[in-house]
Amino acid sequence: MSSPAPDLPATALELRAALHAGEISAREATSDALARIAAAASLGSFVSLAAEQARAAATAADERFARTPRDERRGLPRLHGMPLAHKDLTDVAGLPTTHGSAAVARTVPSSDSPGVAVLRRAGALALGKTQVPEFGLTGYSENRIAGPARNPLDPERTAGGSSGGSAAAVAAGLLPVAPGSDGGGSIRIPALACGLIGLKPGLGAVPTDLARGPLDEFGAPRLTVTGPLARTAGDAALLFDAMRGAHGEPAVAAVERAGELRGLRIGVSADSPFEPAHPVPLAPEARAAHGRAAELLAALGHHVEDAAMHYDSRYPHAFGIGWTAGLSLLELAPGDDERLMPLTRLFRERALARRRDDHLTAGSRLRAFAADARAQWGAYDVVLTPGLAMLPPRIGAFTSLHPDEDYRLQCEWAPFTSMVNVAGLPAIAIPILVTPGGHSFGVQLIGRAGAEETLLQLAAQLTN
Q: Which residues are catalytic?
A: 87, 162, 186
The residue type of 285 is: E
Number of neighbours of residue 438 by Cβ within 10 angstroms? 10
Number of neighbours of residue 108 by Cβ within 10 angstroms? 11
CB 191 within 8 Å of CB 161 = no
The stretches of 300-383 forming alpha helices (DSSP H) are 315-324, 342-353, 356-377
At 259 the three-state DSSP class reads: helix
Q: Which of 2, 128, 108 is nearest to 55 (CA)?
A: 128
At 440 the three-state DSSP class reads: strand
Angle in degrees, 0-180, between the axes of helices 315-324 and 356-377, rounded to the nearest 10: 120
For residues 332 and 340, what is the distance between their CA atoms, to the nearest angstrom? 10
The residue type of 444 is: Q
For residues 460 and 464, what is the distance between their CA atoms, to the nearest angstrom? 6
E-strand ranges in 55-153 read 83-87, 125-130, 150-151
At 404 the three-state DSSP class reads: helix
At 180 the three-state DSSP class reads: strand
Q: Which of 316, 332, 338, 343 is nearest to 137 (CA)?
A: 343
For residues 431 and 444, what is the distance between their CA atoms, to the nearest angstrom? 9
For residues 42 and 125, what is the distance between their CA atoms, to the nearest angstrom? 23
172 DSSP assignment: T
- Long-range contacts of range 330-337, CB-CB < 8 Å, 24 or more positions apart? 330/135, 332/103, 332/104, 336/103, 336/104, 337/103
**Cα-Cα-Cα-Cα dihedral sign, residues 40, 42, 43, 46:** positive
First to last CA, the chain: 22
Q: Which of 151, 232, 141 is nearest to 181 (CA)?
A: 141
CB 419 within 8 Å of CB 185 = no
